[in-house]
């Protein structure tokens, strides 16, 4: 079993088919099929089940996948270490981050990084918290910023500054820049928010409904909107209130497009965690960025 066989296996598993893996790896579909056949011959068991609609992991494939990903990630660590020895400050740094965390604080940290390490290529991609963990675990991201900790033993965590949440409204709202005693005082208002978490969705997306339940309010007028930007635009237009990360609305508040309603019995925040792969290689440049984000 060689690394190319494992790389081909992981590509098929992630793309859901031989043709998709061929496109990702720049190889023909027959070449992909042959590589998988050799892998299955070496293992003496199939790693995929062939279905009319495509391929799915077999029981052996499910067991092999996390080990294959760790092997490939370790190989990339070795190659990165060699690149860094040649390049001085180090090779490229990639960040996976939950979209709602890509606010002013992260932007400033990235600006400082670009100034201090002008020759290091820095890339950023957004994903859900679960996807951020997967990307870091597989070695496709150097570090990740996500909500809450991931209990996986493959990952190391560093606590970042928690993200405070505030109730936002249109500047013309009768309670704009005013205070109410309790969140329950806003139960008759229309609300906008992320859909409640399902499967691998964000855990904090159910925070609003949970806060109302804690105050004895079982039902509110709630519209699910799966985009933070769309939520802000709808709130600006007067379609409702939203419970939003304070860092995500700094620009709109400064411009007078959004306002905050102070809620005296509401003090909630989301824990934010910076994750790296346990035992993975971290370049000097990446270590500097980590120290800036999670001092």
Q: pLDDT band for position 254 (50/70/90)?
A: very high
Q: Long-range pairs for 17-24 at CB < 8 Å and ≥24 separation?
A: 17/54, 17/55, 18/55
Answer whether 76's CB lies under 8 Å from 132's CB: no
Q: What is the mean pLDDT of residues 78-105?
A: 77
Q: Report the topology of domain 164-269.
A: D-Maltodextrin-Binding Protein; domain 2 (3.40.190)
Give 51-64 pLDDT, tens digit per residue.
887 788 999 989 99
Q: What kind of architecture, by CATH, is found in domain 3-70?
A: Orthogonal Bundle (1.10)
Domain boundaries, the chain: 3-70, 88-161+272-293, 164-269
Higher-pLDDT residue of 81, 72: 72
- Name the pTM for this structure: 0.67
When the pLDDT of each residue in the chain is averaged and rounded to a whole number, the result is 89
Beta pairing partners, 275: 144, 157
Q: What kind of architecture, by CATH, is found in domain 88-161+272-293?
A: 3-Layer(aba) Sandwich (3.40)
Q: 88-161+272-293 with 164-269: one CATH topology?
A: yes
Q: What is the mean pLDDT of residues 266-271?
A: 92
Kindly give the pairing relationship between strand 122-126 and strand 179-180. unpaired
Q: For residue 129, give the nearest of 278, 273, 294, 291 by alpha carbon.
A: 273
User: Dihedrals φ, ψ of 159, to 5°?
Assistant: -75, 130
**Separation between Cα atoms, residue 165 and residue 145, nearest integer Å:** 17
């Amino acid at each position: 079993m060689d690394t190319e066989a494992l790389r081909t296996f992981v590509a098929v598993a992630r793309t859901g088919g031989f043709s998709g893996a061929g496109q990702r790896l720049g190889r023909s579909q027959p070449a992909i099929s042959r590589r998988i056949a050799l892998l299955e011959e070496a293992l003496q068991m199939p790693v995929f089940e062939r279905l009319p609609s495509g391929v799915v992991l077999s029981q052996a494939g499910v067991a092999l996948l996390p080990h294959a990903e760790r092997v490939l990630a370790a190989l990339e660590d070795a190659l990165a270490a060699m690149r860094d020895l040649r390049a001085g400050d180090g090779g490229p740094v990639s960040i996976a981050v939950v979209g709602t965390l890509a606010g002013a604080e992260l932007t400033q940290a990235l600006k400082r990084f670009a100034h201090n390490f002008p020759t290091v290529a820095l890339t950023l991609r957004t994903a859900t918290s679960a996807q951020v963990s997967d990307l870091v675990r597989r070695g496709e991201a150097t570090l990740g910023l996500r909500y809450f900790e991931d209990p996986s033993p493959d990952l190391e965590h560093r606590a970042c500054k928690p993200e405070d949440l505030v109730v936002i409204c249109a500047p013309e709202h009768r309670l704009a820049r005013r205070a109410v005693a309790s969140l329950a005082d806003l139960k008759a208002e229309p609300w906008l928010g992320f859909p409640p978490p399902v499967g691998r969705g964000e855990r904090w997306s159910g925070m609003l409904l949970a806060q109302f339940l804690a105050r004895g309010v079982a039902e509110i007028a709630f519209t699910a909107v799966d985009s933070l930007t769309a939520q802000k635009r709808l709130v600006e237009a007067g379609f409702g209130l939203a419970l939003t990360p304070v860092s995500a609305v700094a620009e709109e508040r400064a411009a007078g497009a959004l306002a905050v309603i102070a809620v005296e019995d509401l003090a909630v925040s989301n824990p934010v965690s910076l994750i790296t792969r346990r035992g993975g290689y971290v370049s000097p440049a990446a270590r500097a960025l980590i120290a800036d984000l999670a001092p």
